[in-house]
Amino acid sequence: MRELLSKQNLDYMDRAREVAEKFVRPRAAELDRTGEYGWDILEALKKYELTGIWIPKEYGGQGAGVLDLCLVVEQLSRACGGVGVAYAVNALGSFPIMLNATEEQKVKYLPSIASGEKLIAFALSEKASGSDAGSLRATAIKDGGSYVINGDKKWNTNGGEATVYSVYALTDPSRGMRGISGFIVERGTPGFKLGKREDTMGIRTVSVHELHFENCRVAPSQLLGGKEGDGFKNAMMTLDRARPGVAAQAVGLAQGALEWALRYTSERKQFGQTVMSHQAIQFMLADMATQVEAARQLVYTAARVIDSGAKNVNKIAAMAKVFATDTAMKVTTDAVQLFGGYGFCRDYPIEKYMRDAKITQIYEGTNQVQRLVIGRSLTRELKEYTGHLDCIV
Ligand code: CAA
């Protein structure tokens, strides 16, 4: 639906598509097999001026919106879901700075992320605190003139490649989630150590790490926004803005798998005709294409709502994430089915789409958490509009 996109949107989309076709697709299987990061792809993204596009112009970025970000992620993910998230996770890591950092912090960190010189990751989850993010245990206790961070972080996507991390820890453990603060921590800070790399099912090109903090001293200048206690809200607002990016990754994966399925079923013959000409298969393809388009439009809508500056974006962002990622799982699984036995083999590109899709239902908030967010919003809205409900009897 190019007609519905602006000139700027199309420009980002087309440049990302070119990078995906020229640089990502030829490397996708190898990066999946070896688990290597596509540093050459990062160079291509720099050359095509696609790194950090979401960062405001005054901090070295392009001031592009979440919709532009989603269009780039979608195109990259059509070729490789791992490369898609390797790109998108820098938005997740830098949104906390864009939302709440002091001017000094923005000037110090955003330009190098915008240029792609530095990569950033988001460190919220811990071993015992995943969906219940407010129960995190890492501490950052003030001692003399600095904060001393202790604790471990889990599921840090981009952990091995990043050199800057948005980290959440308790500055006042007695206040629970209201005692959480955000910090910007640089690789190389004494006491900060990269932990084990996870052996993941999909998105294998980007590393997922544990992070360890042992008496890691950071200056007060690293306290996000220079204010204690705002960390949980900052993390939630960040996730609201980043979830459409995961949803766009899912749309890209689903679209990519659909395209492979169309190609395969139009070439393979069984019972004397192409597999695609069997009505049962056409119906499957029709459903897959319809689901992908529906997901795409919901993701674009969520992104547009965020770009409009609307305050309450958590419901629409969660809806986009749930719908697009469940769609990606369904469509990529159906695509494997359409390849038959070949779909189950690594000789063909299709099984990777299904493996890459699975994590989209889990990270940046499981789809159960997204439904919780949507349900809570509905309950709030119901209370607000109770007066209008007399007519529903
Ligand atoms: N925006 C602003 N504020 C928000 C908010 C939002 N979206 N959501 C909650 N808050 C505020 C509330 O208003 C409340 O503030 P007050 O006390 O001042 O009223 C406070 O935060 C607590 O809110 P809740 O009571 O709703 O909190 P909760 O404990 O019930 O949890 C939750 C809510 C939605 C379940 C939340 O914990 C959540 O989103 N969990 C999932 C976490 C997640 O997505 N983790 C993924 C991390 S990233 C990752 O996956 C790794 C990676 O590298 C990609």
pLDDT tens by residue, 219-247: 999 999 999 999 999 999 999 999 999 99
81 pLDDT exceeds 90? yes
Residue 99's pLDDT is what?
Answer: 98
Question: What is the three-class DSSP state of 119?
Answer: coil
Kindly state whether residues 277 and 352 are assigned to the same domain.
yes
236 CA to middle of ligand 1, Å? 5
Question: What is the three-class DSSP state of 216?
Answer: strand
Kindly state whether residues 345 and 286 are assigned to the same domain.
yes
Atom of ligand 1 nearest to the CA of 135: 29
- Do residues 119 and 163 lie in contact, with contact meaning Cβ atoms separated by under 8 Å? yes
Q: What is the mean pLDDT of residues 92-102?
A: 98
pTM above 0.85, yes or no: yes
- What residues contact 174, with CB distance under 8 A and at least 6 apart? none
Residue 384's pLDDT is what?
Answer: 82
Domain termination residue (choose one: 174, 206, 228): 228
Domain termination residue (choose one: 118, 133, 154): 118
Residue 390's pLDDT is what?
Answer: 57
Residue 95's pLDDT is what?
Answer: 98
Q: What is the mean pLDDT of residues 278-285?
A: 98
389 pLDDT exceeds 80? no
Kindly state whether residues 144 and 204 are assigned to the same domain.
yes
Residue 101: which CATH number? 1.10.540.10
Residue minimizing CA distance to atom 7 of ligand 1: 236
Residue minimizing CA distance to atom 6 of ligand 1: 236
Kindly state whether residues 239 and 375 are assigned to the same domain.
yes
Question: What is the three-class DSSP state of 141?
Answer: strand
Nearest to 194 by CA among 216, 179, 172: 216
Kindly state whether residues 125 and 114 are assigned to the same domain.
no
- Which residue of 90, 236, 361, 362 sits with most ligand 1 atoms within 8 Å of its CB, as the best mutation to test the pocket? 236
Kindly state whether residues 269 and 386 are assigned to the same domain.
yes
- For residue 127, report the phi and psi dihedrals to the nearest 5 degrees: -55, -45
The sign of the CA dihedral 96, 99, 103, 109 is: positive
134 CA to middle of ligand 1, Å? 7
pLDDT digits (tens, 9 = 90+) for 166-218: 999 999 999 999 999 999 999 999 999 999 999 999 999 999 999 999 999 99
Kindly state whether residues 31 and 99 are assigned to the same domain.
yes
Kindly state whether residues 44 and 129 are assigned to the same domain.
no
Query: What confidence category does residue 393 fall into, taking pLDDT thresholds of 50, 70 and 90?
Result: very low
- Which residue of 209, 233, 378 sits with most ligand 1 atoms within 8 Å of its CB, as the best mutation to test the pocket? 233
- For residue 90, report the phi and psi dihedrals to the nearest 5 degrees: -70, -30
Name the H helices within the chain.
Answer: 7-19, 28-34, 39-47, 66-79, 81-100, 103-114, 231-267, 279-307, 314-338, 350-358, 367-384
Which residues constitute the domain of residue 295? Answer: 233-392
**Number of domains, the chain:** 3
Atom of ligand 1 nearest to the CA of 155: 51
How many angstroms separate the Cα of 337 from the Cα of each of 257, 270, 307?
11, 15, 38
- What residues contact 208, with CB distance under 8 A and at least 6 apart? 155, 156, 157, 159, 197, 198, 200
157 pLDDT exceeds 80? yes
313 CA to middle of ligand 1, Å? 13
Kindly state whether residues 38 and 77 are assigned to the same domain.
yes
Query: What confidence category does residue 274 fall into, taking pLDDT thresholds of 50, 70 and 90?
Result: very high
Q: What is the mean pLDDT of residues 95-124?
A: 98
Residue minimizing CA distance to atom 43 of ligand 1: 365
Q: Is the CB of 180 under 6 A from ligand 1?
A: no
Kindly state whether residues 255 and 383 are assigned to the same domain.
yes
Name the one residue in this structure whose structure tokens are 């206790």. Answer: 141
Atom of ligand 1 nearest to the CA of 157: 53
Residue minimizing CA distance to atom 25 of ligand 1: 134
Domain termination residue (choose one: 228, 246, 279): 228
pLDDT digits (tens, 9 = 90+) for 358-368: 999 999 999 99
Atom of ligand 1 nearest to the CA of 132: 37
Atom of ligand 1 nearest to the CA of 134: 29
Nearest to 138 by CA among 233, 216, 235, 226: 216
289 pLDDT exceeds 90? yes
Kindly state whether residues 155 and 244 are assigned to the same domain.
no
292 class by beta-carbon count within 10 Å (0-12 exposed, 13-18 middle, 19+ buried): buried
Residue 392's pLDDT is what?
Answer: 52
Query: What confidence category does residue 385 fall into, taking pLDDT thresholds of 50, 70 and 90?
Result: confident
Kindly state whether residues 58 and 207 are assigned to the same domain.
no
% of the chain exceeding 70 in pLDDT: 98
Q: Is the CB of 364 under 6 A from ligand 1?
A: yes
- Do residues 52 and 94 lie in contact, with contact meaning Cβ atoms separated by under 8 Å? yes
241 CA to middle of ligand 1, Å? 13
388 pLDDT exceeds 70? no
Q: What is the mean pLDDT of residues 351-356?
A: 98
Catalytic residues: 364
Residue 277: which CATH number? 1.20.140.10
Residue 126: which CATH number? 2.40.110.10
Q: Is the CB of 136 under 6 A from ligand 1?
A: no
Residue minimizing CA distance to atom 12 of ligand 1: 233
Q: Is the CB of 133 under 6 A from ligand 1?
A: yes
Q: How much is the mean pLDDT over the chain?
A: 97
165 pLDDT exceeds 60? yes
Q: What is the mean pLDDT of residues 92-116?
A: 98
Q: Could you tell me how many residues make up the chain?
A: 393
